Chain A
Amino acid sequence: MTADRAPSIVAPDLMFHEVSVTYPGRSVPALDRVSLTAAPGQITAVVGPNGSGKSSLVRTLLRRVPVSHGAVRLGGEALTAFTPSEIATRIAIVPQREEPVMPLRVEEFVALGRHAHRSAFGGPQRIDLDAVQHAIDTAGVRNTVGRRTDTLSGGEWQRVRIARALAQAAPVLVLDEPTTFLDIAHEMAVFELLDALALRGHTVLLVSHQLNLVARFATHLVLLSAGTVAAAGTVDAVMRGEILERVYEWPLVVTRDPAVGAPALLPLRGAGRRR
């Protein structure tokens, strides 16, 4: 995973153009004319407080929410032009939550990522089997192979889900809070994995609330607030005390961490500014 490795894939960019989403029965839109672009070869992160619309953004890609305005474009083409199967070979999405009701073995679970690639007939092809093994190794879950998904720890479960997304072998990767339940080591491992994938040329869109980690790995940062884009740009441009305080409605201070050279957010105590 050296930094000067040439990108090995050419991925399209993922663009949200003036996307508005209003859930049925609600008067306030979850997303109000949100525009953002995730370019290939870098990590684009979407951050914001709870309810700011981060997950709704991901749901529009899943086609599970009504889009009242705007469009999502993949490499310039509207998403609506693709069938669900075609989308799955182009965009791999790891939704925020998933509860296994019918447990599978890890390798069976990861193999489901190949569903969109496989034809209705016949068993898995060589390419499917290779993709699954590669995904398992890349996600670092080799040691869980053979176990059932309902026996995995929270962290293992998370990474196995990422492995499944990797098995899709899609150029675009979208992850919604992929590091919940992960400890420091595993969290870092996931971010480093995403970094490596971005370096290889993938388009990576990451929804996360881990601002500090995001600050170190993301190239492009989009800050959502109440369904609109409050700020977008480089990490330094967006991670500013005034902006963040306003959006998160909590006293905080942004420092620059010398060890990593990226902005770091420090939330302060609520009542007054004592330590």
Chain B
Amino acid sequence: MTHLAVADHANTDQNARLVWGGGLLALALVLLLGLSIGAVSLPFGDVLRAVRGLGDESTMAIVRDLRAPRVLLAALIGAGLAMSGGALQGTLRNPLAEPYLLGVSGGAAVGAVMAMSLGVYQPALVTLSAFVGAAVSTMLVIAIARGVGGSGDTRLLLMAGVVVGAFANAAILVALADAPPERLRGALWWMMGSAADATWPAVARTLAALLILGGLLVWRARELDVLALGDEPAAALGVDVDRAARRIFLIASWLAAATVAAAGLIGFVGLVVPNLARALGARQHRTMLLLSALYGAILLVAADLMARTLRAPADLPLGAVTALVGVPFFLMRLRRLAQ
């Protein structure tokens, strides 16, 4: 550990510049790549012109209506998931926490299913229903934990999350049992996550969620620092631990819910990126959250790029790609933890 201490002392500003500057550069690069690469090969110059609104109509349509919203949505979702995971990891004091812990995934699915069974199919409404389902599910998890013993106890929360999730899954399975093959395939596709259906309204909605909910998390980041010390030290420093933790759980889960409503289940980002941010030197939560947002965006735009190109013309599910990338990183982290 001492070599880290030495490295810490020296070059911190330099390190910070590298991490942030490099990150921003990487994001710009990966966004540009995302706009330039696709089924139709477009010369780079044409892509840039299309972005500015010049050039041939087809090219502009492809760049502005297909690739741009997709790439931006991937970035926003990556940022949202990373921030959500980071906040949960700090509050739960566990670097293995991830955004879907508190009933988000099951709840969103139930929300969407209920919309469909009521005959509602407009994407915006179904997305809203999925979000509401996730939000309600999260509150249910917290209420159950509180009712049973106190939402301060992490184990109770996790178990309540498992229970609610299992119940939601059962409901979904029952509903899926009668579904025609195409709908089933579509359901599986969304389970694995995809930015392929990105529309500009979806981008706007996700941006709003990120700014509001992510903004709240960044604003309250110092409280996260205190919570991360532990229940007793946090109480000693003047934080109403149960209330503050509940607040963070809700905000983080709703942020995750917003990403799920937009693009389905995408794993590993919320787990891996905050750990990466901490490994890159982010110690306080304000820095960690912002850095996580940046690197989460980079990661997911890159993953989406791979999803589109690895097995063209087929579109791989985003969740599969993030798992492929995430697993080796995870193993490395495990090794480090074990040492």
A→B interface (CB under 8 Å): 59, 62-64, 83-89, 92-95, 97-105, 108, 112-113, 115-116, 118, 120, 146-148, 150-151, 164-165, 168
Does A112 lie within 8 Å of B220, measured CB to CB?
Answer: no
Complex CA distance for A168 and B197, rounded to whole angstroms: 52
Query: B233 to chain A: which residues have CB within 8 Å?
Result: 95, 98
Complex CA distance for A100 and B95, rounded to whole angstroms: 12
Q: Mark B219-232, 1 if CB is under 8 A from A, else 0.
A: 11011011011111
Query: B232 to chain A: which residues have CB within 8 Å?
Result: 59, 62, 64, 95, 97-98
Q: Write the chain B residue with the least CB distance to A146.
A: B9
Q: Write the chain A residue with the least CB distance to B240.
A: A84
Does B222 lie within 8 Å of A84, measured CB to CB?
Answer: no
Would you give 18 A-B contacts (Cβ < 8 Å), ordered by A? Answer: A62-B232, A62-B235, A64-B241, A83-B240, A88-B238, A95-B236, A98-B229, A100-B229, A101-B95, A102-B228, A103-B283, A115-B223, A115-B238, A116-B237, A120-B219, A146-B8, A147-B8, A148-B283
Q: Write the chain A residue with the least CB distance to B94.
A: A101
Given contact pairs A88-B238, A94-B236, A97-B232, enumerate 6 new A-B contacts (beta carbons under 8 Å). Answer: A59-B232, A99-B230, A102-B278, A104-B225, A112-B222, A165-B236
Complex CA distance for A112 and B234, rounded to whole angstroms: 10
Q: Write the chain A residue with the least CB distance to B149.
A: A24
Query: B1 to chain A: which residues have CB within 8 Å?
Result: 150-151
Query: A115 to chain B: which residues have CB within 8 Å?
Result: 222-223, 226, 237-239
Q: Write the chain A residue with the least CB distance to B238.
A: A88
Q: Write the chain A residue with the least CB distance to B232.
A: A95
Q: Write the chain B residue with the least CB distance to A64.
A: B235
Q: How many A-B residue pairs have CB under 8 A?
A: 89
User: Out of B8, B235, B236, B283, which one reaches A102, CB within 8 Å?
Assistant: B283
Does A168 lie within 8 Å of B9, measured CB to CB?
Answer: no
Question: Closest approach, in angstroms, between the C-beta of A115 and any C-beta of chain B?
Answer: 5
Complex CA distance for A105 and B236, rounded to whole angstroms: 20
Does B230 lie within 8 Å of A98, measured CB to CB?
Answer: yes
Query: B331 to chain A: which residues have CB within 8 Å?
Result: none
Complex CA distance for A181 and B304, rounded to whole angstroms: 51
- The 8 nearest A-B residue pairs measured at CB: A88-B238, A116-B238, A93-B236, A95-B232, A62-B235, A85-B238, A151-B5, A101-B93
Complex CA distance for A164 and B238, rounded to whole angstroms: 13
Complex CA distance for A168 and B238, rounded to whole angstroms: 10
User: Out of B8, B93, B229, B240, which one reaches A112, CB within 8 Å?
Assistant: B229
In the complex, whether B122 has a CB less than 8 A from a CB of chain A is no
Question: Closest approach, in angstroms, between the C-beta of A18 and any C-beta of chain B?
Answer: 23
User: Out of A63, A94, A99, which one reaches B235, CB within 8 Å?
Assistant: A63
Query: B94 to chain A: which residues have CB within 8 Å?
Result: 101
Complex CA distance for A92 and B233, rounded to whole angstroms: 10
Interface centre among B219, B232, B240 (most CB of A within 10 A): B232
Query: B8 to chain A: which residues have CB within 8 Å?
Result: 105, 146-148
In the complex, whether B174 has a CB less than 8 A from a CB of chain A is no
Complex CA distance for A164 and B225, rounded to whole angstroms: 14
Interface centre among B219, B229, B283 (most CB of A within 10 A): B229
Q: Mark B197-228, 1 if CB is under 8 A from A, else 0.
A: 00000000000000000000001101101101
Query: B107 to chain A: which residues have CB within 8 Å?
Result: none
Query: A103 to chain B: which residues have CB within 8 Å?
Result: 283
Query: B225 to chain A: which residues have CB within 8 Å?
Result: 104, 108, 112
In the complex, whether B314 has a CB less than 8 A from a CB of chain A is no
Does B283 lie within 8 Å of A108, measured CB to CB?
Answer: yes
In the complex, whether B270 has a CB less than 8 A from a CB of chain A is no
Question: Closest approach, in angstroms, between the C-beta of A82 and any C-beta of chain B?
Answer: 10
Question: Closest approach, in angstroms, between the C-beta of B195 and any C-beta of chain A?
Answer: 31
Query: A104 to chain B: which residues have CB within 8 Å?
Result: 225, 283-284
Question: Closest approach, in angstroms, between the C-beta of B40 and any C-beta of chain A?
Answer: 46
Q: Write the chain A residue with the least CB distance to B9.
A: A146
User: Out of A86, A102, A113, A148, which one reaches B237, CB within 8 Å?
Assistant: A113
Query: A108 to chain B: which residues have CB within 8 Å?
Result: 225, 283-284
Question: Closest approach, in angstroms, between the C-beta of A97 and any C-beta of chain B?
Answer: 8
Complex CA distance for A168 and B9, rounded to whole angstroms: 26
Cβ < 8 Å to A, chain B residues 85-122:
90, 93-95
Does B220 lie within 8 Å of A87, measured CB to CB?
Answer: no
Query: A97 to chain B: which residues have CB within 8 Å?
Result: 232
Query: A112 to chain B: which residues have CB within 8 Å?
Result: 222, 225-226, 229, 237
Query: B90 to chain A: which residues have CB within 8 Å?
Result: 102
In the complex, whether B2 has a CB less than 8 A from a CB of chain A is yes
Query: B177 to chain A: which residues have CB within 8 Å?
Result: none
Query: B235 to chain A: which residues have CB within 8 Å?
Result: 62-64, 84
Query: A99 to chain B: which residues have CB within 8 Å?
Result: 230
Q: Write the chain B residue with the least CB distance to A102.
A: B228
Question: Closest approach, in angstroms, between the C-beta of B88 and any C-beta of chain A?
Answer: 13
Does B4 lie within 8 Å of A148, measured CB to CB?
Answer: yes
Question: Closest approach, in angstroms, between the C-beta of A49 and any C-beta of chain B?
Answer: 22
User: Out of A64, A83, A120, A165, which one reaches B231, CB within 8 Å?
Assistant: A64
Does B238 lie within 8 Å of A89, measured CB to CB?
Answer: yes
Question: Closest approach, in angstroms, between the C-beta of A44 and any C-beta of chain B?
Answer: 18
Q: Write the chain B residue with the least CB distance to A88.
A: B238
